[in-house]
Amino acid sequence: AFEIALARSAMTLQVPAGRTILQVLQENGVDLPSSCEQGACGTCVCGVLEGDVAHQDVYLSASEHAANDRIMTCVSRAKSARLVLDI
Ligand code: FES
């Protein structure tokens, strides 16, 4: 599990194993658009302000992954204990 802090809404949520960031956001009333839910389309992108992303999408390039400033919330997770998202 890891924690996501939502910078614009001052909300902090836990993402357990087996749930995606996107699911946790939607369950908590945060409406982020999504489409493929397989890390391929880019619809569910969210800005990352702090923390290390464990990228699992096939949408961003290797250099975009290395930039660590965006996450595909339907598949990618955190390497750090906490991510601060720009939402
Ligand atoms: Fe398509 Fe996440 S919904 S990449």
State if residue 12 touches ligand 1 by the CB under 6 angstroms criterion: no
Closest ligand 1 atom to the C-alpha of 75?
A: 2
pLDDT digits (tens, 9 = 90+) for 23-72: 999 999 999 999 999 999 999 999 999 999 999 999 999 999 999 999 99
State if residue 34 touches ligand 1 by the CB under 6 angstroms criterion: yes
Q: Of all helices (H) and strands (E), which one includes residue 5?
A: strand 2-6
Tell me: ipTM over 0.95. Answer: yes
Distance CA 41, CA 31 (A): 17
Q: What is the pTM assigned to this prediction?
A: 0.96
